[in-house]
Amino acid sequence: MDTLFTQLIEQLNACDQQHVLQHWQSINDNDKRQLAAQIEQIDLPGIRSLFEQFSQQAEVAPDLSKLTPPNSIRLQQDATISPEAAYAQGEKLLRDGRVGVVIVAGGQGSRLGFPHPKGLFRIGPLSERTLFQFVLDKIAGYEVKYETQIPLFVMTSPTVHEETVCYFEGNDFFQRRDRVEFFCQPAIPAVDARTGKLLMKGKAEIFTSPNGHGGMLEAMQSAGILERCESQNIDTLFYGQIDNPLSPTCSPALLGYHSLSESQVTLQTIAKMSPDEKTGNIVAVDDRTQIIEYSEMPNDLATSEDAQGQLKFWAANIAVHVFQRRFLQEIANSASGLPYHFAHKQVAHIDHQGNPVEPDVPNAIKFERFIFDLLPLAQRTLTVEAARESVFAPVKNASSANFSTPRTSRRGISELHRSWLQQAGCSVADEVTVEIHPTYAVDLPHLLERSDVPDQITENTYLVYPEGS
Protein backbone atom coordinates (compact mmCIF):
# COMPACT_ATOMS: atom_id res chain seq x y z
CA MET A 1 0.00 0.00 0.00
CA ASP A 2 3.04 2.28 0.45
CA THR A 3 3.63 2.23 -3.31
CA LEU A 4 -0.03 3.01 -3.94
CA PHE A 5 0.12 5.92 -1.50
CA THR A 6 3.20 7.31 -3.29
CA GLN A 7 1.46 7.14 -6.68
CA LEU A 8 -1.70 8.78 -5.41
CA ILE A 9 0.01 11.55 -3.48
CA GLU A 10 1.94 12.55 -6.62
CA GLN A 11 -1.33 12.95 -8.56
CA LEU A 12 -2.98 14.85 -5.75
CA ASN A 13 0.00 17.13 -5.04
CA ALA A 14 0.03 18.24 -8.68
CA CYS A 15 -3.47 19.68 -8.18
CA ASP A 16 -3.10 20.72 -4.54
CA GLN A 17 -5.56 18.08 -3.34
CA GLN A 18 -3.24 16.06 -1.08
CA HIS A 19 -5.64 16.44 1.87
CA VAL A 20 -7.72 13.62 0.33
CA LEU A 21 -5.21 11.14 1.85
CA GLN A 22 -4.97 12.76 5.29
CA HIS A 23 -6.78 9.80 6.91
CA TRP A 24 -4.92 7.14 4.90
CA GLN A 25 -3.25 5.55 7.91
CA SER A 26 -6.53 5.14 9.80
CA ILE A 27 -8.52 3.28 7.09
CA ASN A 28 -8.33 -0.41 6.21
CA ASP A 29 -6.85 -1.89 3.05
CA ASN A 30 -10.22 -2.36 1.34
CA ASP A 31 -11.16 1.28 1.96
CA LYS A 32 -7.73 2.30 0.64
CA ARG A 33 -8.35 0.44 -2.61
CA GLN A 34 -11.82 1.99 -2.99
CA LEU A 35 -10.51 5.50 -2.36
CA ALA A 36 -7.67 4.91 -4.83
CA ALA A 37 -10.16 3.76 -7.47
CA GLN A 38 -12.28 6.86 -6.89
CA ILE A 39 -9.27 9.17 -7.25
CA GLU A 40 -8.29 7.47 -10.52
CA GLN A 41 -11.76 8.19 -11.95
CA ILE A 42 -11.62 11.92 -11.17
CA ASP A 43 -10.25 14.41 -13.68
CA LEU A 44 -8.24 16.38 -11.13
CA PRO A 45 -6.86 18.99 -13.58
CA GLY A 46 -10.38 19.40 -14.99
CA ILE A 47 -11.81 20.08 -11.52
CA ARG A 48 -9.10 22.63 -10.88
CA SER A 49 -9.87 24.35 -14.18
CA LEU A 50 -13.60 24.48 -13.39
CA PHE A 51 -12.92 26.06 -10.01
CA GLU A 52 -10.69 28.66 -11.66
CA GLN A 53 -13.53 29.47 -14.05
CA PHE A 54 -15.88 29.84 -11.10
CA SER A 55 -13.39 32.08 -9.29
CA GLN A 56 -13.13 34.28 -12.34
CA GLN A 57 -16.93 34.27 -12.78
CA ALA A 58 -16.49 33.03 -16.31
CA GLU A 59 -20.18 32.28 -16.88
CA VAL A 60 -21.60 34.89 -19.23
CA ALA A 61 -25.24 35.84 -18.92
CA PRO A 62 -27.19 35.99 -22.17
CA ASP A 63 -27.91 39.37 -23.73
CA LEU A 64 -31.58 39.69 -22.83
CA SER A 65 -32.00 42.76 -25.04
CA LYS A 66 -31.98 40.46 -28.09
CA LEU A 67 -34.74 38.10 -26.93
CA THR A 68 -37.43 37.12 -29.40
CA PRO A 69 -40.07 34.35 -29.31
CA PRO A 70 -38.82 30.99 -30.64
CA ASN A 71 -39.51 29.43 -34.02
CA SER A 72 -42.74 27.63 -33.24
CA ILE A 73 -45.87 25.83 -34.33
CA ARG A 74 -48.73 27.00 -32.12
CA LEU A 75 -52.15 25.60 -31.47
CA GLN A 76 -54.99 27.29 -33.36
CA GLN A 77 -52.62 28.92 -35.81
CA ASP A 78 -51.94 28.05 -39.42
CA ALA A 79 -48.54 26.46 -39.97
CA THR A 80 -46.53 25.37 -42.98
CA ILE A 81 -46.81 21.76 -41.72
CA SER A 82 -50.33 20.50 -41.08
CA PRO A 83 -51.12 18.32 -38.03
CA GLU A 84 -52.24 15.55 -40.39
CA ALA A 85 -48.97 15.60 -42.34
CA ALA A 86 -46.94 15.65 -39.12
CA TYR A 87 -48.84 12.69 -37.66
CA ALA A 88 -48.47 10.67 -40.85
CA GLN A 89 -44.72 11.34 -41.00
CA GLY A 90 -44.31 10.35 -37.34
CA GLU A 91 -46.18 7.10 -38.03
CA LYS A 92 -43.76 6.38 -40.87
CA LEU A 93 -40.73 6.95 -38.63
CA LEU A 94 -42.15 4.53 -36.08
CA ARG A 95 -43.06 1.86 -38.65
CA ASP A 96 -39.58 2.11 -40.16
CA GLY A 97 -37.90 1.54 -36.77
CA ARG A 98 -36.09 4.88 -36.83
CA VAL A 99 -37.06 6.03 -33.30
CA GLY A 100 -35.45 5.44 -29.91
CA VAL A 101 -36.43 6.75 -26.47
CA VAL A 102 -34.17 8.28 -23.83
CA ILE A 103 -35.59 8.69 -20.33
CA VAL A 104 -33.77 10.55 -17.56
CA ALA A 105 -34.48 8.66 -14.35
CA GLY A 106 -31.64 9.45 -11.98
CA GLY A 107 -33.63 11.02 -9.13
CA GLN A 108 -35.04 9.64 -5.93
CA GLY A 109 -38.57 10.19 -4.65
CA SER A 110 -37.34 11.99 -1.53
CA ARG A 111 -39.72 14.95 -1.92
CA LEU A 112 -42.60 12.46 -2.14
CA GLY A 113 -41.58 10.67 1.04
CA PHE A 114 -40.58 7.75 -1.19
CA PRO A 115 -37.02 6.48 -0.44
CA HIS A 116 -36.57 4.76 -3.79
CA PRO A 117 -35.91 5.70 -7.42
CA LYS A 118 -38.71 8.00 -8.49
CA GLY A 119 -39.49 5.75 -11.47
CA LEU A 120 -40.78 3.11 -9.04
CA PHE A 121 -43.45 5.45 -7.66
CA ARG A 122 -47.01 4.20 -8.30
CA ILE A 123 -49.03 6.86 -10.11
CA GLY A 124 -51.80 5.07 -12.06
CA PRO A 125 -55.12 6.45 -10.69
CA LEU A 126 -56.73 2.97 -10.92
CA SER A 127 -53.98 0.64 -12.12
CA GLU A 128 -51.33 1.88 -9.69
CA ARG A 129 -48.82 1.50 -12.50
CA THR A 130 -45.41 2.99 -11.74
CA LEU A 131 -43.92 5.94 -13.58
CA PHE A 132 -41.63 3.51 -15.39
CA GLN A 133 -44.64 1.48 -16.50
CA PHE A 134 -46.24 4.57 -18.00
CA VAL A 135 -43.22 4.95 -20.27
CA LEU A 136 -42.91 1.24 -21.05
CA ASP A 137 -46.63 0.78 -21.74
CA LYS A 138 -46.71 3.79 -24.06
CA ILE A 139 -43.77 2.39 -26.02
CA ALA A 140 -45.39 -1.07 -26.14
CA GLY A 141 -48.62 0.48 -27.41
CA TYR A 142 -46.86 2.07 -30.37
CA GLU A 143 -44.83 -1.08 -31.03
CA VAL A 144 -48.02 -3.10 -31.38
CA LYS A 145 -49.85 -0.47 -33.40
CA TYR A 146 -47.03 0.03 -35.89
CA GLU A 147 -45.50 -3.48 -35.78
CA THR A 148 -42.12 -2.06 -34.88
CA GLN A 149 -39.45 -2.12 -32.19
CA ILE A 150 -38.49 0.92 -30.13
CA PRO A 151 -35.39 0.70 -27.92
CA LEU A 152 -35.45 2.41 -24.53
CA PHE A 153 -32.34 3.97 -23.01
CA VAL A 154 -32.67 4.76 -19.31
CA MET A 155 -30.23 7.17 -17.70
CA THR A 156 -29.76 6.48 -14.01
CA SER A 157 -27.47 8.01 -11.41
CA PRO A 158 -25.06 6.21 -9.05
CA THR A 159 -27.61 6.68 -6.25
CA VAL A 160 -30.46 4.79 -7.95
CA HIS A 161 -28.75 2.63 -10.57
CA GLU A 162 -28.64 -0.69 -8.73
CA GLU A 163 -32.20 -0.51 -7.39
CA THR A 164 -33.55 0.53 -10.81
CA VAL A 165 -31.87 -2.39 -12.57
CA CYS A 166 -33.11 -4.79 -9.86
CA TYR A 167 -36.66 -3.50 -10.39
CA PHE A 168 -36.48 -4.29 -14.09
CA GLU A 169 -34.87 -7.67 -13.48
CA GLY A 170 -37.55 -8.55 -10.92
CA ASN A 171 -40.21 -7.82 -13.55
CA ASP A 172 -38.42 -9.67 -16.37
CA PHE A 173 -37.74 -6.30 -17.99
CA PHE A 174 -41.49 -6.06 -18.74
CA GLN A 175 -40.92 -8.39 -21.72
CA ARG A 176 -38.43 -5.95 -23.19
CA ARG A 177 -35.10 -7.47 -22.10
CA ASP A 178 -33.60 -7.03 -25.56
CA ARG A 179 -34.82 -3.45 -25.92
CA VAL A 180 -33.91 -1.77 -22.62
CA GLU A 181 -30.44 -0.43 -21.89
CA PHE A 182 -29.28 1.40 -18.77
CA PHE A 183 -26.50 3.93 -18.65
CA CYS A 184 -25.33 5.81 -15.59
CA GLN A 185 -24.70 9.53 -15.67
CA PRO A 186 -21.29 10.62 -14.41
CA ALA A 187 -20.78 11.87 -10.87
CA ILE A 188 -18.44 14.76 -10.24
CA PRO A 189 -16.89 16.08 -7.01
CA ALA A 190 -18.04 19.24 -5.32
CA VAL A 191 -15.37 21.60 -4.02
CA ASP A 192 -15.05 24.05 -1.17
CA ALA A 193 -16.32 27.39 -2.46
CA ARG A 194 -13.42 29.31 -0.91
CA THR A 195 -10.45 27.05 -1.60
CA GLY A 196 -11.40 24.68 -4.41
CA LYS A 197 -10.50 21.70 -2.23
CA LEU A 198 -12.35 18.43 -2.76
CA LEU A 199 -14.84 17.76 0.03
CA MET A 200 -14.62 14.43 1.83
CA LYS A 201 -17.85 12.55 2.52
CA GLY A 202 -15.93 10.20 4.80
CA LYS A 203 -12.33 9.29 5.55
CA ALA A 204 -12.25 7.01 2.50
CA GLU A 205 -14.73 8.69 0.18
CA ILE A 206 -14.73 11.91 -1.81
CA PHE A 207 -18.12 13.65 -2.01
CA THR A 208 -19.59 13.44 -5.50
CA SER A 209 -22.98 14.16 -7.06
CA PRO A 210 -24.52 13.62 -10.53
CA ASN A 211 -23.33 16.20 -13.07
CA GLY A 212 -26.80 17.32 -14.21
CA HIS A 213 -29.15 16.10 -16.94
CA GLY A 214 -26.69 17.45 -19.50
CA GLY A 215 -24.42 14.58 -18.44
CA MET A 216 -26.67 12.45 -20.66
CA LEU A 217 -24.67 13.22 -23.77
CA GLU A 218 -21.31 12.27 -22.26
CA ALA A 219 -22.79 9.13 -20.72
CA MET A 220 -24.47 8.00 -23.96
CA GLN A 221 -21.24 8.51 -25.86
CA SER A 222 -19.21 6.58 -23.28
CA ALA A 223 -21.68 3.69 -23.39
CA GLY A 224 -21.54 3.55 -27.19
CA ILE A 225 -25.28 4.14 -27.47
CA LEU A 226 -25.13 6.73 -30.23
CA GLU A 227 -22.96 4.46 -32.37
CA ARG A 228 -25.32 1.52 -31.88
CA CYS A 229 -28.27 3.72 -32.81
CA GLU A 230 -26.49 4.66 -36.02
CA SER A 231 -25.84 1.01 -36.86
CA GLN A 232 -29.54 0.23 -36.29
CA ASN A 233 -30.71 3.14 -38.50
CA ILE A 234 -32.19 5.00 -35.51
CA ASP A 235 -31.94 8.65 -36.48
CA THR A 236 -34.50 10.18 -34.08
CA LEU A 237 -34.40 10.13 -30.28
CA PHE A 238 -37.31 11.13 -28.07
CA TYR A 239 -36.16 12.58 -24.72
CA GLY A 240 -38.24 12.89 -21.57
CA GLN A 241 -37.99 12.79 -17.79
CA ILE A 242 -39.44 10.05 -15.63
CA ASP A 243 -41.55 12.29 -13.38
CA ASN A 244 -44.16 13.23 -16.02
CA PRO A 245 -46.59 10.35 -16.74
CA LEU A 246 -48.27 12.38 -19.50
CA SER A 247 -45.00 12.95 -21.34
CA PRO A 248 -45.87 12.40 -25.03
CA THR A 249 -43.44 9.51 -25.47
CA CYS A 250 -43.08 8.72 -29.18
CA SER A 251 -45.89 11.11 -30.12
CA PRO A 252 -46.27 10.67 -33.90
CA ALA A 253 -47.23 14.32 -34.30
CA LEU A 254 -44.17 15.61 -32.45
CA LEU A 255 -41.86 13.20 -34.28
CA GLY A 256 -43.41 14.23 -37.58
CA TYR A 257 -43.02 17.96 -37.02
CA HIS A 258 -39.40 17.32 -36.08
CA SER A 259 -38.72 15.27 -39.21
CA LEU A 260 -40.55 17.40 -41.76
CA SER A 261 -38.92 20.61 -40.52
CA GLU A 262 -35.46 18.93 -40.59
CA SER A 263 -35.01 20.16 -37.04
CA GLN A 264 -31.93 19.14 -35.03
CA VAL A 265 -33.71 19.73 -31.72
CA THR A 266 -37.48 19.98 -31.30
CA LEU A 267 -39.13 21.02 -28.05
CA GLN A 268 -42.62 20.15 -26.93
CA THR A 269 -43.97 23.13 -25.04
CA ILE A 270 -47.10 24.50 -23.38
CA ALA A 271 -48.31 28.05 -22.99
CA LYS A 272 -47.44 29.64 -19.67
CA MET A 273 -50.45 30.19 -17.40
CA SER A 274 -48.98 33.44 -16.09
CA PRO A 275 -45.79 35.48 -16.49
CA ASP A 276 -44.51 34.29 -13.10
CA GLU A 277 -45.09 30.56 -13.65
CA LYS A 278 -41.98 28.75 -12.41
CA THR A 279 -40.94 27.16 -15.68
CA GLY A 280 -38.05 27.92 -17.98
CA ASN A 281 -38.79 30.31 -20.86
CA ILE A 282 -38.08 29.06 -24.39
CA VAL A 283 -36.79 32.05 -26.35
CA ALA A 284 -34.52 32.91 -29.25
CA VAL A 285 -31.35 35.02 -29.20
CA ASP A 286 -29.94 35.88 -32.62
CA ASP A 287 -32.18 33.18 -34.11
CA ARG A 288 -30.72 30.51 -31.81
CA THR A 289 -33.10 28.87 -29.35
CA GLN A 290 -32.28 29.15 -25.65
CA ILE A 291 -33.95 28.55 -22.33
CA ILE A 292 -33.94 31.36 -19.79
CA GLU A 293 -34.82 30.28 -16.27
CA TYR A 294 -37.82 32.06 -14.75
CA SER A 295 -35.59 33.45 -12.00
CA GLU A 296 -33.35 35.11 -14.62
CA MET A 297 -36.17 36.66 -16.67
CA PRO A 298 -36.65 40.37 -15.88
CA ASN A 299 -40.23 41.21 -14.99
CA ASP A 300 -40.66 43.69 -17.85
CA LEU A 301 -39.79 40.94 -20.35
CA ALA A 302 -41.78 38.23 -18.57
CA THR A 303 -44.92 40.38 -18.65
CA SER A 304 -44.46 41.90 -22.13
CA GLU A 305 -47.28 41.30 -24.63
CA ASP A 306 -47.53 41.00 -28.39
CA ALA A 307 -49.86 42.97 -30.71
CA GLN A 308 -52.75 40.63 -29.82
CA GLY A 309 -52.37 41.24 -26.09
CA GLN A 310 -50.91 37.77 -25.44
CA LEU A 311 -47.70 36.99 -23.57
CA LYS A 312 -44.79 37.59 -25.91
CA PHE A 313 -42.66 34.97 -24.19
CA TRP A 314 -45.29 32.31 -23.81
CA ALA A 315 -43.39 29.06 -24.30
CA ALA A 316 -42.76 27.04 -21.13
CA ASN A 317 -40.07 24.37 -21.03
CA ILE A 318 -41.44 20.96 -19.94
CA ALA A 319 -38.25 18.98 -20.66
CA VAL A 320 -39.69 17.06 -23.61
CA HIS A 321 -37.42 17.07 -26.66
CA VAL A 322 -36.75 15.24 -29.89
CA PHE A 323 -33.12 15.04 -30.99
CA GLN A 324 -31.59 14.32 -34.34
CA ARG A 325 -29.13 11.54 -33.53
CA ARG A 326 -26.52 12.86 -35.95
CA PHE A 327 -26.57 16.24 -34.20
CA LEU A 328 -25.98 14.61 -30.80
CA GLN A 329 -23.04 12.72 -32.23
CA GLU A 330 -21.51 15.90 -33.62
CA ILE A 331 -21.68 17.65 -30.25
CA ALA A 332 -20.46 14.58 -28.37
CA ASN A 333 -17.45 14.32 -30.69
CA SER A 334 -16.59 18.01 -30.43
CA ALA A 335 -13.76 19.13 -28.21
CA SER A 336 -15.82 21.47 -26.05
CA GLY A 337 -19.04 19.48 -25.55
CA LEU A 338 -21.56 21.06 -23.18
CA PRO A 339 -20.40 23.74 -20.70
CA TYR A 340 -20.49 23.35 -16.93
CA HIS A 341 -22.53 25.65 -14.72
CA PHE A 342 -21.79 26.53 -11.10
CA ALA A 343 -24.25 25.94 -8.28
CA HIS A 344 -23.58 27.28 -4.77
CA LYS A 345 -24.89 24.56 -2.41
CA GLN A 346 -24.76 23.28 1.16
CA VAL A 347 -22.75 20.06 1.29
CA ALA A 348 -22.19 18.00 4.44
CA HIS A 349 -18.65 16.66 4.77
CA ILE A 350 -15.91 15.83 7.28
CA ASP A 351 -13.15 18.17 8.39
CA HIS A 352 -9.43 17.44 8.54
CA GLN A 353 -9.89 15.72 11.87
CA GLY A 354 -12.64 13.47 10.54
CA ASN A 355 -15.45 15.26 12.36
CA PRO A 356 -18.79 15.70 10.53
CA VAL A 357 -19.64 19.22 9.34
CA GLU A 358 -23.26 20.22 8.65
CA PRO A 359 -23.11 23.70 7.11
CA ASP A 360 -26.09 26.04 7.56
CA VAL A 361 -25.10 28.23 4.60
CA PRO A 362 -23.89 27.31 1.09
CA ASN A 363 -20.29 26.17 1.39
CA ALA A 364 -19.61 24.29 -1.81
CA ILE A 365 -19.64 24.57 -5.57
CA LYS A 366 -21.32 21.84 -7.59
CA PHE A 367 -20.63 21.59 -11.30
CA GLU A 368 -23.60 20.72 -13.54
CA ARG A 369 -24.34 20.35 -17.22
CA PHE A 370 -27.77 21.18 -18.65
CA ILE A 371 -29.26 19.40 -21.64
CA PHE A 372 -30.79 22.62 -22.94
CA ASP A 373 -27.29 23.98 -23.58
CA LEU A 374 -27.54 21.93 -26.76
CA LEU A 375 -30.07 24.40 -28.11
CA PRO A 376 -27.84 27.34 -29.06
CA LEU A 377 -25.49 24.87 -30.77
CA ALA A 378 -28.23 23.79 -33.17
CA GLN A 379 -28.77 25.61 -36.46
CA ARG A 380 -32.34 24.34 -36.85
CA THR A 381 -34.74 24.05 -33.94
CA LEU A 382 -38.51 23.96 -33.59
CA THR A 383 -40.91 24.55 -30.69
CA VAL A 384 -44.26 22.75 -30.90
CA GLU A 385 -47.11 23.79 -28.62
CA ALA A 386 -49.43 21.23 -27.07
CA ALA A 387 -52.36 21.61 -24.72
CA ARG A 388 -51.11 21.53 -21.13
CA GLU A 389 -53.63 18.92 -20.04
CA SER A 390 -52.48 16.52 -22.78
CA VAL A 391 -48.74 16.42 -22.05
CA PHE A 392 -47.94 17.74 -18.60
CA ALA A 393 -48.86 16.32 -15.19
CA PRO A 394 -45.53 16.03 -13.35
CA VAL A 395 -44.95 14.43 -9.95
CA LYS A 396 -42.46 16.67 -8.19
CA ASN A 397 -43.86 17.66 -4.80
CA ALA A 398 -45.33 16.04 -1.71
CA SER A 399 -49.10 15.85 -1.37
CA SER A 400 -49.09 18.87 0.95
CA ALA A 401 -48.09 21.16 -1.94
CA ASN A 402 -50.55 22.89 -4.27
CA PHE A 403 -49.16 21.75 -7.62
CA SER A 404 -47.25 18.89 -9.27
CA THR A 405 -48.25 16.40 -6.59
CA PRO A 406 -49.30 12.74 -6.86
CA ARG A 407 -52.91 13.86 -6.42
CA THR A 408 -52.81 16.48 -9.20
CA SER A 409 -50.94 14.09 -11.48
CA ARG A 410 -53.45 11.25 -11.03
CA ARG A 411 -56.29 13.70 -11.63
CA GLY A 412 -54.54 14.91 -14.79
CA ILE A 413 -54.23 11.36 -16.13
CA SER A 414 -57.92 10.64 -15.49
CA GLU A 415 -59.07 13.95 -16.97
CA LEU A 416 -57.08 13.41 -20.15
CA HIS A 417 -58.51 9.93 -20.62
CA ARG A 418 -61.99 11.25 -19.83
CA SER A 419 -61.62 13.82 -22.64
CA TRP A 420 -60.50 11.09 -25.07
CA LEU A 421 -63.55 8.98 -24.24
CA GLN A 422 -65.91 11.92 -24.60
CA GLN A 423 -64.43 12.74 -28.01
CA ALA A 424 -65.01 9.11 -28.95
CA GLY A 425 -68.71 9.50 -28.09
CA CYS A 426 -68.67 8.00 -24.59
CA SER A 427 -70.63 9.67 -21.81
CA VAL A 428 -68.57 9.65 -18.59
CA ALA A 429 -70.35 10.41 -15.33
CA ASP A 430 -69.06 13.23 -13.15
CA GLU A 431 -66.70 12.27 -10.32
CA VAL A 432 -65.84 9.01 -12.03
CA THR A 433 -62.17 8.09 -12.42
CA VAL A 434 -61.10 6.57 -15.72
CA GLU A 435 -57.77 5.25 -16.95
CA ILE A 436 -56.83 3.87 -20.36
CA HIS A 437 -53.95 1.44 -20.75
CA PRO A 438 -51.96 1.98 -23.99
CA THR A 439 -52.76 -1.58 -25.09
CA TYR A 440 -56.35 -0.39 -25.40
CA ALA A 441 -55.51 3.00 -26.95
CA VAL A 442 -52.10 4.60 -27.02
CA ASP A 443 -53.46 8.01 -28.02
CA LEU A 444 -56.69 9.71 -29.11
CA PRO A 445 -56.44 8.76 -32.82
CA HIS A 446 -55.99 5.14 -31.76
CA LEU A 447 -59.07 5.30 -29.51
CA LEU A 448 -61.15 6.81 -32.32
CA GLU A 449 -60.27 3.79 -34.47
CA ARG A 450 -61.77 1.34 -31.97
CA SER A 451 -65.30 0.00 -32.42
CA ASP A 452 -65.74 -1.19 -28.84
CA VAL A 453 -65.59 2.11 -26.94
CA PRO A 454 -68.36 2.02 -24.30
CA ASP A 455 -71.37 4.27 -24.85
CA GLN A 456 -71.30 5.39 -21.21
CA ILE A 457 -69.27 4.95 -18.06
CA THR A 458 -70.95 5.32 -14.69
CA GLU A 459 -68.31 3.90 -12.34
CA ASN A 460 -64.53 3.92 -12.00
CA THR A 461 -63.23 2.16 -15.11
CA TYR A 462 -59.80 0.94 -16.22
CA LEU A 463 -59.79 0.10 -19.92
CA VAL A 464 -57.13 -2.44 -20.83
CA TYR A 465 -56.73 -4.92 -23.66
CA PRO A 466 -56.11 -7.76 -23.73
CA GLU A 467 -57.53 -8.72 -20.37
CA GLY A 468 -54.89 -8.89 -17.68
CA SER A 469 -52.33 -6.64 -19.39
Work out the average pLDDT over 247-268. Answer: 98
Residue 1 has what pLDDT? 64
Average pLDDT over residues 162-180: 96
Give the whole-number percent of the chain exceeding pLDDT 70: 98
Rg (CA), the chain: 24
Q: Picking from 61-70, 164-173, 282-291, 296-305, which range would have the lowest pLDDT averaged per residue?
A: 61-70
Query: Which of 135, 141, 101, 138 is closest to 118 using CA atoms?
Result: 135
Nearest residue to 170 (alpha-carbon basis) of 178, 179, 162, 160: 162
Rounded mean pLDDT of 19-26? 94
Determine the pLDDT at residue 363.
96
User: Long-range contact list for 115-121, CB < 8 A, 24+ apart?
Assistant: 116/160, 116/163, 117/156, 117/160, 117/163, 117/164, 117/167, 118/160, 118/242, 118/243, 118/395, 119/160, 119/164, 119/167, 119/242, 120/163, 120/164, 120/167, 121/395, 121/406
pLDDT band at 467 (very low <50, low <70, confident <90, very high): low
pLDDT above 70: residue 202: yes
Q: Which residue has the higher pLDDT, 84 or 60?
A: 84
The answer on pLDDT for 63 being more than 80 is: no
Question: Residue 153 in contact with residue 225, Cβ under 8 Å?
Answer: yes
Confidence of residue 60 (pLDDT cuts 50, 70, 90): low
What is the C-alpha separation between 289 and 285, in angstroms, rounded?
A: 6
Contact 349, 205 (CB under 8 A): no
451's enclosing H/E stretch is none
User: Is the pLDDT higher at 152 or at 339?
Assistant: 152
pLDDT-derived band at 64, boundaries 50, 70, 90:
confident
Task: Specify the pTM.
Answer: 0.93
pLDDT of residue 78: 80
Of 455, 374, 443, the C-alpha closest to 137 is 443
Q: In angstroms, rounded to a whole number, what is the distance separating the alpha carbons of residues 118 and 100?
A: 22
For 134, the enclosing helix (H) or strand (E) is helix 131-146
What tens digit of pLDDT does each residue of 384-422 get?
A: 999 999 999 999 998 888 889 999 999 999 999 999 999
| pLDDT on residue 61 | 63
Question: Is residue 218 a contact partner of residue 337, using CB atoms and an 8 Å limit?
Answer: yes
Please report the pLDDT score of residue 468 as a whole number.
Answer: 46
For residue 277, pLDDT beyond 60: yes
CA 113/CA 27 separation, integer angstroms:
34
pLDDT for res 58: 53
pLDDT at 469: 47
Please, what is the end-to-end C-alpha distance for the chain in angstroms? 56
Print burial letters for 358-367: b (CB count within 10 Å at least 16), e (below 16): eeeeebbbbb
Q: Is the pLDDT of residue 268 over 70?
A: yes
What pLDDT was estimated at residue 186? 87
Give the residue extent of every domain in the chain.
Answer: 60-394, 397-469
- Judge contact between 456 and 427, C-beta under 8 A: yes
Across the chain, what does the average pLDDT equal? 94
Structure confidence by residue, pLDDT tens digits, 130-164: 999 999 999 999 999 999 999 999 999 999 999 99
Q: What is the mean pLDDT of residues 261-271?
A: 98
Q: Residue 339's pLDDT band (boundaries 50, 70, 90)?
A: confident
Q: What is the pLDDT of residue 46?
A: 93
Q: Which CATH number fits domain 60-394: 3.90.550.10, 3.30.450.40, 3.30.565.10, 3.40.50.970?
A: 3.90.550.10
Q: What is the pLDDT of residue 84?
A: 96
